[in-house]
Each structure stands twice: as structure tokens, then as C-alpha cells.
A = this chain, B = another copy of it.
């Protein structure tokens, strides 16, 4: 199986075995000029890795799909939209292709092979440049949008920085590495970054943790999952600090006994969760 994680700066692809082990990877910069060039690059990385044993390819894409048709309706930070993604890639590659949102497939990977092994229900929030989400319900990946970064937590709040998003007060306006960089400059000076806040375990991170806790409270009241995972680049690095700061507001916002029943943890699979999850999705759909 080949898994491909399409990101806003790079495309990471790899051969993944049935146990989720990565055997070989290829990485290229993400072409940002046009959809055609992007599709060329995506087929290119698969062709480069492909051997006669490869039965299918899976893609994690930073966009939202029509679950029934597989059409990418919109995407953040990459030039994709209104594209019958799986059909087009499958025709180009002559291979079965599966595709879903990148954070969705990361949730699948965490459920199968990471922090959520054996659980029935989990929610993953990926905090990076943006905020993504994935939900597993009854042991299966939920295929609705699950754009959890675009839940409103502050009505009429800060403008959402997501590309093409016109909303205000979304999680993505408060809980990203970008927001943490801004916070670092405010509290530590113009040269500081999110990394400095994390290294110093700076109490100012509680501000981001509070916003995250507000979102998590809502997510518990909606999904009552066994586990909520914090992943993504910023989330994996700051997760423990953010979870600690989020707890009081989660206890306040979640209906009882949600705060006690839902475990919070940092995602385990790191930056390769998307690649692995994309391959697992292809494996699932092939079966």
C-alpha cells in the first residue's frame, strides 16, 4: 500500500505494510500554482515508489469531501477544489485510490495503530498551522467533514485565518502554532516563537489551553468519546501543557460525567500519522 500525505508545504509519501510500518518514503515540495501541477506531483510520488506488489494508494488531503461522491469540495492552503479526487487519481495511476481529509486519516491511524488502539470512539484534533479534526465512531472513521478547527468557540470573535474561511471565532483562530507564535512575541518579545513558550513551559500557554478546553467541552457533549487526542506539529509538542490548562474549562463545559469519562492524551504517531492513515484507508477500501 502507498500512503500519501498532502500538506501545505510538502507531499510525504511512503510504502506502508499491513501493520502500518513505513518501508520507504519520498518527499517533494507541494506545487502551489495550479491544480494540474499538484495532481502531477501527487501521481509522481506514487509512481516513484510503486512496485508491482502495490495494490492501491491512499491520500490524505487538507480539504473537505462530499462523502457520497468523493469530490473535494474545498481545501485549505492547497490549490484543490471541485475535483473528483479519487476518480482522477485512479485514472491517472491505473490503481485503486482512496482519499479523505488529512486529519481524518490521521485519526484512523491513531485508532488502528496509535493512542486509540482498541477503542470504539475517539476524536483527534491536529493543531499545526491550522486545526484539523478526525472522528472515529463505533470503530469506524466518520466520513462527514469533521472540520473541527472550524467550530465556533467565540461568537463574532477573531477572524478565522483558514484559507477561504470567512468565519469568526473558530478554533483555528486561537489554537494553532501560528497563534502560539503570536502569543510568544507578545509575552517574550519580537524574536520569540511557540517553541520558546513550550521549552519554558510558559504559563501564557494556558490562554490557548483555555480556548482548546472550550472546544473540547463541546466535543464531549456532542460525541462523548472515550478519548480525545491532541496531535499535529504544535499540538504534539505542546499537548501536555495545553491539556493541563484545558482541564478546568472542560470540567465546567462538559455535561457530567463527560469530563471524567473522556480521556485526553497526545497523539502517538507523530508527523507520519497522515501517511500511515492514508495507506490504511486504501487498505480498508480495497477490502
A residues near B (Cβ < 8 Å) are 64, 67-68, 73-74, 120-121, 133, 137, 142, 144-148, 150-155, 157, 162, 164-170, 211, 214-215, 217-218, 220-225, 251-258
Expressed in whole angstroms, the minimum distance between the Cβ of A157 and any Cβ of chain B is: 8
- Whether A145 pairs with B255 at a CB distance below 8 angstroms is yes
Expressed in whole angstroms, the minimum distance between the Cβ of A278 and any Cβ of chain B is: 20
- Whether B153 pairs with A67 at a CB distance below 8 angstroms is no
User: Which of A145, A155, A258 counts the most chain B CB atoms within 10 A?
Assistant: A155
Contacting residue for A137 out of B68, B144, B148, B255, CB 8 A: B144
- Whether B145 pairs with A253 at a CB distance below 8 angstroms is no
Determine how many copies of this chain the complex contains: 2
Expressed in whole angstroms, the minimum distance between the Cβ of A3 and any Cβ of chain B is: 24
Known: A64-B224, A164-B256. A154 touches B151 (CB 8 A): no
Expressed in whole angstroms, the minimum distance between the Cβ of A225 and any Cβ of chain B is: 8
Give Cα A130–Cα B215 distance, bound, in whole angstroms: 21
Expressed in whole angstroms, the minimum distance between the Cβ of A166 and any Cβ of chain B is: 5
- Whether B253 pairs with A167 at a CB distance below 8 angstroms is yes
- Whether A255 pairs with B222 at a CB distance below 8 angstroms is no
- Nearest B residue to A74 via CB reads B256
